[in-house]
């Protein structure tokens, strides 16, 4: 499956490692939440990038002690109708200040691509290459938004106020 990161199709540096498989000595790995929680200190002490696949039915607050040592958190959309990973992403970015890669995995519709970006995702594991191109386009489609979020974009109201203050001086 293609990986889209920051609007570009890219190679995935992370290797998914099953729970019953020995961890490689080095290299970026992506492990399950169960494996991380079974022995977190040993895993985060590795001298290579570590990522975790976090299910949408678990509280992201459980990750708080290790956020500064996780290079990637992959949030799961089990069906296109289940948007809990959107809330998880916003909490990770806005409440806990997570600055690593947030990757969306699973069933995501094209209609949701802009919401992924707005909610803090910077990567998407897509099923089809055409979706990869569509996600890249969605990251640049809009320049102003009404809803404030923690993605660094100012809301339309904030931009209007700024323009008003600039023109008044």
Give me the DSSP letters along 65-100. GGGGG-SEEEEEESSTT--HHHHHHHIIIIIS---S
Asked whether residue 71 is assigned to any structural domain, the reply reads: yes
Q: What is the pLDDT of residue 159?
A: 75
Asked whether residue 58 is assigned to any structural domain, the reply reads: yes
Give how many domains the chain has, as a whole number.
1
Asked whether residue 32 is assigned to any structural domain, the reply reads: yes
Please report which confidence band the pLDDT of residue 153 belongs to, taking 50, 70 and 90 as the band edges: low
Average pLDDT over residues 36-60: 92
Q: Which residue did the predictor score with more confidence, 99 or 8?
A: 99
Asked whether residue 159 is assigned to any structural domain, the reply reads: no
- Residue 150: pLDDT over 80: no
Asked whether residue 62 is assigned to any structural domain, the reply reads: yes
Q: What is the CATH number of the domain that holds 111?
A: 3.20.20.70
Range of the domain at 86: 3-141
Asked whether residue 115 is assigned to any structural domain, the reply reads: yes
Q: Which residue did the predictor score with more confidence, 21 or 127?
A: 21
Asked whether residue 168 is assigned to any structural domain, the reply reads: no
Please report which confidence band the pLDDT of residue 38 belongs to, taking 50, 70 and 90 as the band edges: very high
Q: Is 148 left (phi over 0), alpha (psi -120 to 50) or beta?
A: beta
**To the nearest whole percent, how much of the chain has pLDDT over 90?**
44
In Å, what is the CA distance from 22 to each residue of 31, 47, 69, 84, 94? Answer: 11, 16, 21, 31, 35
């Amino acid at each position: 499956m293609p990986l889209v990161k920051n609007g570009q199709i890219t190679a995935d540096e992370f290797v998914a490692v099953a729970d019953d498989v020995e961890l490689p000595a080095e290299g970026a790995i992506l492990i399950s939440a169960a494996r991380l929680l079974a022995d977190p200190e040993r895993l985060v002490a590795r001298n290579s990038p570590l990522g975790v696949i976090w299910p949408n039915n678990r509280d992201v607050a459980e990750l708080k002690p290790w956020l500064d040592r996780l290079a990637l958190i992959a949030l799961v959309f089990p069906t296109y109708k289940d948007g809990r990973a959107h809330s998880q992403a916003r909490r990770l970015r806005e409440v806990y200040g997570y600055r690593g890669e947030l990757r969306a995995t699973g069933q995501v519709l094209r209609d949701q691509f802009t919401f992924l970006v707005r909610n803090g995702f910077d990567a998407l594991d897509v099923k089809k290459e055409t979706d990869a191109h569509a996600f890249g386009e969605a990251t640049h489609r809009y320049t102003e938004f009404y809803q404030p979020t923690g993605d660094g974009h100012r809301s339309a109201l904030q931009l209007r106020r700024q323009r008003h203050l600039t023109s008044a001086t």
